[in-house]
Amino acid sequence: MDPSTLVHDAIALVALTAMEIILGIDNIVFISVVSSRLPEAERKSARQIGLLAAMGTRVLLLLTLTWIMQLTHPIFSLSQAPLPADWIEYFRHHKELNEFSWRDLILLAGGLFLIRSSVVEIHNKIEGAHGDHETARKVTFRGVIFQIAVLDIIFSLDSVITAVGMAESIWVMITAVVIAVLVMMIFASAVSGFVEKHPTVKMLALSFLLLIGVMLVAEGIGTHIEKGYIYFAMGFALFVEFLNLRAKAKAELRRKAEH
């Protein structure tokens, strides 16, 4: 192998692995939140199966790159639908809202699914014990795995398209995906434990998922939102929450010292 090609692939592998880990943060948050609805004995298995499903989905999609690229081709346009004339004229002048591909439809459906899941979880948290009892009665291990699998497809699609844009060799893409998922599996339990231990962090995580769902819907209808802004907002909110947790912990220590 040409040394320059090897160096290029190595740089692409490092960059793509880091990007895959960053893009997998929302996946970890979703898996942590959804698996927390199961009995404690089943949560670890659900997280591991969910992340393995994410790895499998990404690798399978990478092995069908030609098909993936076809998903971005328009399959229908609203200007050809039986709509009022002024609507048709509007859509013709706004291509991003007019043409829809399979990728757009998948992102739209996934975003709506994520919004619904987040709203239901937030409602259950607000309802308290009664809501938790109702949720526990409805949730099954298979149901949780199904939810994780559906969102894995959405997150994997975005991840694979990013991989195609950053690397040329298929082995680099697959290796980066495998390493990223293994890293996520190592930290998934710690993230889940932290989220479960602090109710305010869990509510914040649900808000993140709601935000990501809105972003997916926006992407699905042709409005691009730079993910860097979303991740910065999430990071800043987590930093503020960390300061709150530190302040609460110190206040609790002072109260104990006074008594």
- Is 83 part of a structural domain of the chain? no
Write down the pLDDT at residue 138: 58
Count the domains in the chain: 1
| pLDDT, tens digit (0-9, with 9 covering 90-100), for 144-200 | 887 777 777 777 766 676 666 666 677 777 888 888 888 888 877 787 777 777 777
pTM exceeds 0.75, yes or no: no
- Is 180 part of a structural domain of the chain? yes
- CA 7 – CA 150 distance, rounded (Å): 36
Residue with tokens 């002048």: 93
- Is 244 part of a structural domain of the chain? no
- Is 96 part of a structural domain of the chain? no
- The CA angle 112-114-216, to the nearest 5 degrees, is 65
- Is 232 part of a structural domain of the chain? no
- CA 181 – CA 15 distance, rounded (Å): 15
| pLDDT, tens digit (0-9, with 9 covering 90-100), for 121-149 | 788 777 764 444 444 445 677 878 877 77
Tally of CB atoms within 10 A around 257? 7
C-alpha closest to that of 170 among 53, 23, 16, 18: 16
C-alpha closest to that of 204 among 236, 247, 246, 156: 236
Two tokens, residue 242: 């960390």
239 contacts: CB under 8 Å, gap ≥ 6: none
- Is 242 part of a structural domain of the chain? no
Write down the pLDDT at residue 136: 47
- CA 259 – CA 171 distance, rounded (Å): 62
- Is 140 part of a structural domain of the chain? yes
Containing domain of residue 153, as a range?
Answer: 3-75+102-225
| pLDDT, tens digit (0-9, with 9 covering 90-100), for 227-244 | 777 777 877 887 888 888
- Is 97 part of a structural domain of the chain? no
| pLDDT, tens digit (0-9, with 9 covering 90-100), for 26-65 | 777 777 777 877 887 888 888 888 888 878 877 887 777 6
